């Protein structure tokens, strides 16, 4: 299954007390995984080093 993998961005999510450099895998429009070395064959990769990734910001 293809998805979007955002690699190496600073992920900030106050709801889960997360603030650090992580990878984020999105499949079917939903976050499937957040971790330090997430992999997914066939995913579109967005390199986010030096950028902020703010899951749920659109929900505010």
**CATH number, domain with residue 44:** 2.30.40.10
Looking at residue 14, its pLDDT comes to 85
Predicted TM-score of the model (pTM): 0.85
Tell the burial category of 11 from Cβ atoms under 10 Å away from its Cβ (0-12, 13-18, 19+).
buried
For the chain, the domain total comes to 1
The pLDDT value recorded for residue 2 is: 78
- The kind and range of the H/E element at 31 are strand 30-35
Phi, psi of 8 (to 5 degrees): 75, 15
Residue 47 lies in a domain: yes
pLDDT exceeds 80 at position 1:
no
Q: 3-class SS at 25?
A: strand
Is residue 27 situated within a structural domain? yes
Residue 8 Ramachandran class (φ > 0 left, ψ -120 to 50 alpha, else beta): left
In a domain, 60, yes or no: no
- Whether 57 has a pLDDT exceeding 80, the answer reads no
Q: Which domain holds residue 40?
A: 4-55
pLDDT tens string 2-54? 799 999 999 998 888 999 999 999 999 899 999 999 988 888 999 999 999 99
Query: Given this model, what pLDDT does residue 24 score?
Result: 95
Is 50 a member of any domain?
yes
């Amino acid at each position: 299954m293809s998805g979007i993998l955002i690699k190496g961005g600073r992920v900030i999510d106050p709801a889960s007390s997360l603030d650090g450099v992580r990878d984020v895998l999105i499949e079917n429009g939903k976050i499937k995984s957040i971790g330090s070395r997430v992999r997914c064959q066939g995913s579109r990769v967005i390199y986010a080093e030096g950028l902020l990734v703010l899951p749920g910001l659109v929900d505010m």
